[in-house]
Amino acid sequence: MKIIMVLNQIQAGVGTKDDTHIPLTATQNPVGPGSMMKPMMIKYDEQLLATIYCGTGLYEEDKAVTTRKIVGMVKRLGADIVICGPSFDYLDFSKMSVEIAQVIQKESEAKAVCAMSDEMADLIATCRASLPIVKMPKKGGAGLNEALENICQVVAQVGNQQEVDAALIY
């Protein structure tokens, strides 16, 4: 299964919460949580094709153009699944993740999965019926490795058109 991850500047490790105008970038190398997830992905026969990231401020300033470029990359690379996040308890990144995931599912053949903490309950409530959202700890919370493994498991279930384990998602 071919995977793309979409991250913000913080999770990609290229900026802080104040560095919100990091340009849209794609790399074949795993970055941020993708580095930790790579061995887990192998277990589920998942291949990380690319990591796409940008600053949340850049995204907010021109959502349409940024999202169109991301969807274009997803199509060109032939991704089966796009993991938007994990966004933990970052509100701006969680909103960005959900919005991009919804457009990916609407405008491409790829499926999308998000991951965030329950501090994003209001946002989760608006989209969990149409989008699998994996349960995550808040940033710095306990259970990160288990949650990253759960993302890989949910991706495998979605990609193989299996019922998603309800204990792993909201």
- The tens digit of pLDDT for each residue in 71-86 reads 999 999 999 999 999 9
Burial of 83 (0-12, 13-18, 19+ CB in 10 A): buried
Alpha-carbon span 28 to 35, nearest angstrom: 11
- In order of start, what are the domains of the chain with their CATH numbers? 2-168 (3.40.50)
The total of other beta-carbon atoms located within 10 Å of residue 17's CB is: 13
pLDDT of residue 94: 98
The pLDDT tens digits for 11-24 are 999 998 889 999 99
* Mean pLDDT for all residues in the chain: 97
pLDDT value of residue 109: 97
Q: Does the pTM of the predicted model rise above 0.95?
A: yes
Query: How far is residue 32's CA from residue 131's CA, in Å, rounded to a whole number?
Result: 23
**pLDDT tens readout for residues 108-154:** 999 999 999 999 999 999 999 999 999 999 987 799 999 999 999 99
